[in-house]
């Protein structure tokens, strides 16, 4: 199949307006004859479900959590970008577009990114109207702060809990539609598969997580708003339940998966302390405004620190290497996430890491406390310092934080066209689950923007065009495809439950995570990736032989839920490795050691790799087929990113 991104013709700034006019509409009286399924209730899902219901469509919304409000968008800390230019500092839609496309290291579509920047301003208006309590100045107007990768202040925020407040806003809009009877909400339901009829998505199969009932649901269109797959690494800043299952099942039903190897490793997370660790906690990017990142100058000093023979506070100033300030005098500690992460790894690889494990560097506030006083630092970062002390039992006011990079976000996801439709007709993908807007690296405060842009301001327009074309003929689950799909879901569950080996699913997950982190993490090589591919294949085969899954289907069975998700990660991991192998260049978060500049920075190969890699599933244990969507840049000049 030839990929058609359906990007409208014409000048960049007019593409979206023109496209909106050209899209077909569904007349108001006919909207109530359509049913739309929305899977996932994070920012993208909740905003889409509410907005579509407001238009008059009947919506069925699903989430695996016990409440739509608990989707992982809730945990986003920093903020949301919008080109409001309230600060009069030179921001514009074009500048936000440019920063985002450059920040993504020129691996995203111009048309999509421009639209994102364009609707960003509407998002803030919408959220404020809902009662989202953004930070304000004494004059009563909205406050902004700066984030990495831009030179203007365009980030709106609600203390360190912006994601929570935005999600509660979208959740309230969703609740209003539930109240009005336009949305039927299914909580504690997991999507197990997509049902396609003649190549078009016509419904889904779900499992009721409380009693195990396998149910089928029909609709005119299906929207997947199911988040990212960072948990393939086992340890990440994602919630425990975050998974790829919905997207992966759609992939197996014909939706291409794009740029799976593009993952974001966030530089400032609390380091791992032991094998029991279940997740990692982010320390907001904002800390790098005042914190200085350093490692001991020599391996000997690092060893003494690790063994406890030397206290960090006793280390002399001349024995400290502020490596980001040394290497990047222009940006210093505020280099983008990918650059900061790689440099921390370099220190650890050289043997200069600290903490008992030796896998950490310092983030030091002593200078800021000296300059601003402890009270000011507390006012700015108090909740983060408390969180750090809670977890590590160390006082960051008295000694530097230990930090290390961790998996945070996935830029890759299901391939979608300009209308957010996947390669399966009637199947749409929104938010982090799709691949469309962040290229090879996402800038801070852009994830919330994209989720809400897709849900509030893109899908309500683009979905109508498809629905108008297929017509409002009633849908039901009588087509044999529903029963067939349901049968395959039941078979797979039975297969999982029949596993009575010796290892828990969690143990496989941890091993997979080690492989992914080691060979498909912050630095990748051809040799390592080939090795990883073999290891993952062997691990997956072993899982289906020796794993142990407890209980039965007809009950609340968290062990079974988990095992199903891990089985999908074991397949996705291999595709990520394939994608990383194919892309023999470095770009953004994808760093191939073979492709770097003389100074050790990511070196792109625009002649050969300026494409989105869309992978087509070809059957179990078969190599996937690569389709290339060439990226055309008419409005920006591709250049080497430099932060020196």
- Active site residue ranges: 337
Q: Which CB, 210 or 541, lies closer to another protein? A: 210
Interaction residues for another protein, span 579-638 (CB under 8 A): none
Phi-psi region of 235 (alpha: psi -120 to 50; beta: other; left: phi over 0): beta
Q: State how far the Cα of 640 lies from the Cα of 106, in Å rounded to an integer.
A: 10
Q: How many residues bind another protein (CB under 8 A)?
A: 79
Q: Which of 13, 25, 129, 379 binds another protein (CB under 8 A)?
A: 129
CB-based contacts of 7: which residues, under 8 Å, 6+ apart?
15, 109, 110, 111, 112, 418
Interaction residues for another protein, span 268-297 (CB under 8 A): 273-274, 276-279, 281-282
Q: Does 175 bind another protein (CB under 8 A)?
A: yes
Q: Does 298 bind another protein (CB under 8 A)?
A: no
Q: State how far the Cα of 142 lies from the Cα of 408, in Å rounded to an integer.
A: 28
What strands, in cross-sheet order, belong to the sheet with 214-218? Answer: 189-197, 200-208, 214-218
Strands 155-156 and 183-186: unpaired
Q: Which CB, 215 or 582, lies closer to another protein? A: 215
Q: What is the 3-state secondary structure (H, E, C) of 181-234?
A: CCEEEECCEEEEEEEEECCEEEEEEEEECCCCCEEEEECCEEEECCCCCHHHHC
Q: Which stretch binds another protein (CB under 8 A): 128-136, 360-368, 435-443, 538-546?
A: 128-136
Q: Does 213 bind another protein (CB under 8 A)?
A: no
Q: Does 545 bind another protein (CB under 8 A)?
A: no
Q: Does 642 bind another protein (CB under 8 A)?
A: no
41-80 footprint of another protein as x/- string (CB under 8 A):
------x--xx--x----------xxxxxx-x-xx-----
Q: Which stretch binds another protein (CB under 8 A): 154-162, 339-347, 582-590, 609-617?
A: 154-162
Interaction residues for another protein, span 192-211 (CB under 8 A): 210
Find the shortest distance in angstroms from Cβ 73 to another protein: 10
4-11: which pairs have CB atoms within 8 A and are 24 or more residues apart? 4/417, 5/109, 5/111, 5/417, 5/418, 5/629, 6/417, 6/418, 6/419, 7/109, 7/110, 7/111, 7/112, 7/418, 8/111, 8/418
Q: Do 45 and 225 touch, CB atoms closer than 8 A?
A: yes
Distances from the Cα of 481 to the Cαs of 191, 422, 478, 548, in angstroms?
16, 20, 8, 31
Distance between alpha carbon 305 and the CA centroid of its chain, in Å?
A: 35
Interaction residues for another protein, span 377-416 (CB under 8 A): 387, 390-391, 393
Q: Which CB, 161 or 462, lies closer to another protein? A: 161
218-257 footprint of another protein as x/- string (CB under 8 A):
---------------------xxx----------------
Q: Does 25 bind another protein (CB under 8 A)?
A: no
Interaction residues for another protein, span 77-106 (CB under 8 A): 84, 86
Q: Does 313 bind another protein (CB under 8 A)?
A: no
In order, the DSSP letters of 481-548 are HHHHHHHHHHHHHHHHHT-B-SEEHHHHHHHHHHHHHHHSSSSB-HHHHHHHHHHHHHHHHHHHHHEE
Distances from the Cα of 75 to the Cαs of 156, 179, 302, 387, 431, in angstroms?
16, 26, 34, 14, 15
Find the shortest distance in angstroms from Cβ 370 to another protein: 29
Q: Which stretch binds another protein (CB under 8 A): 316-324, 431-439, 454-462, 491-499?
A: 454-462
Find the shortest distance in angstroms from Cβ 617 to another protein: 29
Residue 504, strand partner residues: 548
Interaction residues for another protein, span 456-485 (CB under 8 A): 456-457, 460
Q: Does 502 bind another protein (CB under 8 A)?
A: yes
Q: Which of 558, 597, 608, 640 binds another protein (CB under 8 A)?
A: 558
Find the shortest distance in angstroms from Cβ 157 to another protein: 11
Q: Do 206 and 40 touch, CB atoms closer than 8 A?
A: no
Length of the chain: 644
Q: Which CB, 270 or 535, lies closer to another protein? A: 270
Find the shortest distance in angstroms from Cβ 516 to another protein: 20
Burial code (b: 16+ CB inside 10 Å, e: under 16) for 19-40 equals: beeebeebeeeebebbbbbbbb
Q: Does 172 bind another protein (CB under 8 A)?
A: yes
Q: Which CB, 149 or 271, lies closer to another protein? A: 271
Q: Does 17 bind another protein (CB under 8 A)?
A: no
Q: Does 559 bind another protein (CB under 8 A)?
A: yes
Find the shortest distance in angstroms from Cβ 290 to another protein: 22
Q: Which of 33, 94, 176, 184 binds another protein (CB under 8 A)?
A: 176
Q: Which CB, 165 or 434, lies closer to another protein? A: 165
Closest CA to 617 of 582, 572, 560, 570: 572
């Amino acid at each position: 199949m030839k990929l058609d991104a359906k990007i409208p013709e014409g000048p960049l700034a007019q593409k979206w307006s023109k496209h909106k006019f050209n899209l077909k509409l569904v007349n108001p009286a006919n909207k109530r004859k359509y049913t739309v399924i929305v899977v996932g209730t994070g920012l993208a899902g909740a905003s889409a479900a509410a907005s579509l219901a407001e238009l008059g469509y009947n919506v069925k919304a699903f989430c695996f959590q016990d409440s739509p409000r608990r989707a992982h968008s809730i945990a986003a800390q920093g903020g949301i970008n919008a080109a409001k230019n309230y600060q009069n500092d030179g921001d514009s839609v074009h500048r936000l577009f440019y920063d985002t496309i450059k920040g993504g290291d020129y691996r995203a579509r111009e048309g999509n990114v421009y639209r994102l920047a364009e609707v960003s301003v509407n998002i803030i208006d919408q959220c404020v109207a809902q009662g989202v309590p953004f930070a304000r100045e004494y004059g009563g107007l909205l406050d902004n702060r700066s984030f990495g990768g831009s030179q203007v202040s365009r980030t709106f925020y609600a203390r360190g809990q912006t994601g929570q407040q935005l999600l509660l806003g979208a959740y309230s809009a969703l609740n209003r539609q539930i109240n009005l009877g336009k949305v039927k909400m299914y909580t504690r339901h997991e999507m197990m598969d997509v049902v396609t009829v003649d190549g078009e998505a016509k419904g889904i199969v779900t499992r009721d997580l409380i009693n195990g009932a396998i149910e089928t649901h029909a609709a005119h269109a299906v929207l997947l708003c199911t988040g990212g797959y960072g948990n393939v690494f086992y340890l990440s800043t994602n919630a425990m339940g975050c998974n790829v299952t919905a997207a992966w099942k759609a992939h197996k039903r014909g939706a291409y998966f794009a740029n799976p190897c593009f993952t974001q490793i966030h530089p400032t997370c609390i380091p791992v302390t032991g094998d029991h660790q279940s997740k990692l906690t982010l320390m907001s990017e904002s800390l790098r405004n005042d914190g200085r990142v350093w490692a001991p100058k020599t391996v000997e000093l690092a060893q003494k620190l690790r063994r406890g023979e030397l206290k960090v506070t006793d280390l002399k100033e001349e024995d400290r290497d502020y490596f980001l300030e040394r290497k990047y005098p222009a940006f210093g500690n505020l280099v983008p996430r990918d650059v900061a992460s790689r440099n921390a790894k370099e220190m650890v690889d050289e043997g200069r890491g600290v903490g008992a494990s030796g896998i950490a560097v310092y983030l030091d506030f002593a200078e800021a406390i000296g300059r601003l006083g402890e009270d000011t630092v507390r006012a700015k970062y108090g909740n983060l310092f408390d969180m750090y002390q809670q977890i590590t039992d160390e006082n960051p006011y008295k000694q530097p934080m230990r930090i290390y990079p961790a998996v945070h976000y996935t830029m890759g996801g299901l391939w979608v066209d300009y209308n957010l439709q996947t390669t399966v007709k009637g199947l749409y993908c929104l938010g982090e689950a799709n691949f469309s807007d962040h290229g090879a690296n996402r800038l801070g405060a852009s994830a919330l923007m994209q989720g809400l842009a897709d849900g509030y301001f893109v899908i309500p327009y683009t979905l109508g065009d498809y629905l108008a074309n297929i017509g409002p003929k009633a849908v039901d689950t009588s087509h044999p495809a529903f029963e067939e799909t349901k049968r395959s879901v039941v078979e797979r569950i039975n297969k999982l439950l029949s596993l009575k080996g010796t290892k828990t699913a969690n143990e496989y997950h941890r091993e997979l995570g080690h492989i992914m982190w080691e060979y498909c993490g912050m630095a990748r090589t051809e040799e390592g990736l080939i090795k990883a591919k073999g290891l993952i294949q062997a691990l997956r085969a072993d899982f289906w032989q020796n794993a142990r899954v407890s209980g039965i289907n007809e009950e609340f069975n968290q062990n079974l839920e988990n095992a199903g998700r891990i089985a999908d990660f074991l397949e996705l991991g291999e595709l990520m490795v394939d994608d990383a192998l194919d892309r023999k260049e470095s770009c953004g978060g994808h760093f191939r050691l073979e492709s770097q500049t003389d100074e050790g920075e990511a070196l792109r190969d625009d002649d050969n790799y300026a494409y989105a890699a869309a992978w087509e599933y070809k059957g179990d244990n078969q190599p996937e087929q690569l389709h290339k969507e060439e990226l055309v840049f008419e409005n920006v000049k591709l250049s080497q990113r430099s932060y020196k």
